[in-house]
A and B are shown apart, each in its own frame.
Chain A
Amino acid sequence: MNRRLLTAMLAHWREGRTLTLLTVVGVALGVASVVCIQTLNQGALAAFGGSMQAVSGEADLTVQGRGPQLAEAVYPQVLADPGVAAAWPLVRAWVLVSGTADRYLDVVGVDAFAPVDFPLEGMSGAGSALVGLADMLGRPGWIALTPEYAAELGFAVGDTFTVASADRLVPLTVGALVDFRRQAPLASRQLALMDIAQAQHAFGRRGWVDQIDVQVAAGQDPAAVGRRLARHLGPAAEVLTPAQRQENAAGLLGAFRLNLTALSLISVLVGMFLVFTAVHASLVRRRRQFGLLRSLGSPRRQILGVILLEAAVLGILGTVVGVPLGYLAARFNVHTVSATLTSIYLLNEIEQLRLPPLLVLIGLVVGLGGALLGAWLPALDVARREPLVLLSAAGLPERLGRLAPRLALLAFALGLAVVAWDLGFGHALRARGFVLALVLMLALPLLTPLVLRETCGRVPPRGFGWRLGLRGLASRLQSTSFAVAALAVTVSMLVGITLLIGSFRATLATWVERSLTADIYVTGAGWQRDLGRTPLSPAVIDQLAAFPEVQFIDLQRRLEARTTDGRSVRLIAIQRRGSADGHWSARAPLLAGDPRRLGPALDAGAAAISEPLARRTGPASATPFAWPGRVARSPWRSPASPTTSPARAASPTSPGRPWTRPSGRAARRPSRSPSRPDGTSRLPSAPCAPRWPAAPSTCAATAAYAPTCSTSSTRPSPSPASCRSWPW
């Protein structure tokens, strides 16, 4: 391609500034949306990965409960495996900094003798590790914050503050700063480090841990050790490599990321329509230029090359604008997305956004590819024309009119194929909706020329203006049909999204109407983050029930759990005190099954599953749910309905005393770290115990949609009963 010829052809941009700008804007918007969405998607995973790396970076394996927690008794079983070189339990708790609305700490309770070197700094005792360790173990409420978060909260080493966890108020002292980002640059600034026993005691986790990190002995295959551990520990626990944990997080976010990605691809498609329209209009205007070039001896491929190179330059310009625009949009929206991640998926906030070279490359591919794809058809059309046709004073004759029936036939064939696919196996696919939407977006433009030709060409003329306009639409199908198709796609998307939102609103309204029947909702502070891990204490529930104005209360607890086949489920446990007859059927309307049997079945420990879950698991699923300590092995029980299949779930073992190292095999620590005097048991946490508030001292009342414990004073209570804590 002659550089001067290309430069000469690009010079026309000066005369068609609007079209050029439209093309660049179209590309830039498409690129920006992709870059924005992918930056946020990657940021979400990186936030999880960064925190995982900071906390469990030295672990080869992690043992987790399939329920929200893991019984402490599992720890000695892990240590007993010959392939385990070292193992250390962790307690995780999201706690709210008192006096703030949304400042949480992601507390990591760790055994001080675990073979993990956390980058502590600013400890008393001139940085002595021994003194720091003694502080961590011996000073009640000792906690290490990240330097960023300490600065944000205005705390310095030595400061005391209070955090709220469910109905507990816990005083803490900043004993040190821990710069997790030295080890993992993407680690959350909200991470905080505590002694495990103190964390268990302070946050009501006695007898429970959240995970056990494992270092595999030298020469051992982590995968093999993991499999052995999984067999040994049974289905109540799962053993994961760091990569599997990352995969689980990615899987959890799969639908979320897919939705965002699909939306960004729609904007790419819209950008491509803009490019197509702009390039087409530009080429129609410049057809004589190309006719001249052809008559001067320019071959078709040279014409095609000139047009595509022009589009490529526009694509690159659009990318140059779109990539920073997308990154800025991501920064602008990061808090909204972050809120979704933390409230729905219980993952870490996105604190840092990065624009890796790969994402810039993706932006370039999208921008360049979109511009080239958008320009391809008009470029091909012009390149294929004979020079005489291009030089002619009349408009370009159009072939689209002749092709219209065949294109419409193709659209119908596509529609039939996708319906057959959907009826066959497509409905089981998560991306089913997107496939249907994509086919709709392809079929509509294919159908448009015929519809336009047949409608506009046959409308009886009612005046000069109408006749000219409608005949013009029908005769210039090549340009008009794309504009109409773009409008049709936009309108169909608009209708689809409006219906979706309307349906969601209706569902939400129904749910609110059926679920929020109480007058007052009482939850623990920070329940949104620490979902299901720290319930209200029995004393608070008793206090609530004892109020003379309270007629009856509902107890509700939500738990995140994983089934033995790896499915994430959210269990809502409800214990109704003094409920009226028909209460269950009013709250959980059955789509199928006998409503009279539901109450007794639930009382017997069964579970009712939602319609979407039933759709995924199939009718009368035999999938057992695993809970901390034990697994419900019974298959789904009656009634055998696809939407209300109850399952038995067993209660776990009861909580025990604060963390003490088990005798026998113990977690090993590098030789430079201080070791415990007796080598088997840790320093007692007793000194701190008396200083904790013995009884619940606070309880947040809120009108949240998902109450942890609710009370009502409006309905008659046939048999008021005393509150007690849920057995889990």
Chain B
Amino acid sequence: MLQFQHVDRSFALAGAPPRQVLRGVTFDLAAGDSLALVGRSGSGKSTVLHLAAGIDLPTAGTVTLAGHDLASLPDGRRCELRRQYVGLVFQFFHLLPHLSVLDNVCLPGWVAGDPHGQVRDRARELLDQVALADRAADRAGRLSGGEMQRVALCRALLRRPPLVLADEPTGNLDEAAGARVMALLLGLCARERAALLYVTHSREQAALAGRTLQLRDGSLAAAGRSA
């Protein structure tokens, strides 16, 4: 599903030498697998996710999503691949506060131009799975942090993407809420047979994934397989 081969990423800074964030990162993720990325702040974890989603491009090396080299594709085609293959979960949720919970979940379907009835039914189904069906009509801005992240999970899974990318999905939540969200994320991905790549600082949460990769100063330091 996803392959990184010798991926470098550096950022140009005005009046200073470029800052290299990733160096020769190589790994792959098969369909239905789960992979946790761990490492210190600034080690390049989020950059890996951005490259995997095609919202950032490598300076060197190749990122292949469903057989497509993302760097070689124009922006429109990358958007199309994102709509088709990727579900994104952000640390800060990025819900539209003026929309209802249901509308927030429906958003990827509307962007893709899917039939509205089908989109709405699927969104209700997902909200039911995360126990938010009764909040469907509420404004997203009125939810708690944990509820917001559950809505964000539903939004990421709306179009049944084969790959879910989650950037510190529990980073803004307390321990209990974080644990609930993580369990839901893994459960939903397993149910939808979606591959999952997530970034976390928590060893416990990393241990929930099938594999773990550790980034240190932009390079893969260690890889492990969970029990």
Contacts and interface: CB of A to CB of B under 8 A. Distances in A.
B211 interface: no
A302 B107 CA distance: 14
Interface stretch (B20-28, B79-87, B174-182): B79-87
A292 B82 CA distance: 12
A8 B107 contact: yes
Interface in A391-441: 391
B181 to A, nearest CB: 19
A495 B116 CA distance: 57
Contact of A296 (B50, B75, B82, B116): B82
B94 interface: yes
B99 A4 contact: no
Contacts of B76: 299-301
B106 A297 contact: no
A76 B96 CA distance: 85
Interface string B100-120: 000100111011110010000
Nearest to A302: B111
Interface in B49-100: 50, 53, 55-56, 75-76, 79-84, 86, 88, 90, 94, 96-99
A341 interface: no
Most chain A beta-carbon neighbours within 10 Å: one of B79, B97, B99, B112: B79
Nearest to B53: A295
B111 A289 contact: no
B98 A14 contact: yes
Interface string A277-305: 00000000000110111111111111000
B110 A297 contact: no
A15 B82 CA distance: 30
A353 B165 CA distance: 64
B110 to A, nearest CB: 4
Using C-beta atoms within 8 Å of the partner chain, give the interface range for chain A: 20 to 34
A298 B86 CA distance: 13
Given A8-B103, A295-B53, A300 B75 contact: yes
Contacts of B50: 388
B110 A5 contact: yes
B88 A299 contact: no
Interface in B101-146: 103, 106-108, 110-113, 116
B111 A293 contact: yes
A542 interface: no
Contact of A4 (B75, B80, B108, B110): B110
A301 B99 CA distance: 23
A12 interface: yes
Contacts of A302: 111
Given A2-B111, A295-B88, A388 B55 contact: yes
B109 to A, nearest CB: 9
Contacts of B110: 2, 4-5, 8
Interface string B192-213: 0000000000000000000000
Contact of B112 (A292, A297, A301, A388): A297
Given A295-B82, A296-B83, A299-B76, A15 B111 contact: no
A12 B96 CA distance: 9
B33 to A, nearest CB: 22
A387 interface: yes
Most chain B beta-carbon neighbours within 10 Å: one of A11, A294, A297: A297
A117 interface: no
Interface of A: 2, 4-5, 8, 11-12, 14-15, 288-289, 291-302, 386-388, 391
- 4 smallest CB-CB distances across A and B, nearest first, come from A297-B83, A297-B82, A5-B110, A387-B55
Given A2-B110, A15-B97, A295-B82, 7 more contacts: A2-B111, A8-B103, A293-B107, A295-B53, A297-B108, A386-B55, A388-B55
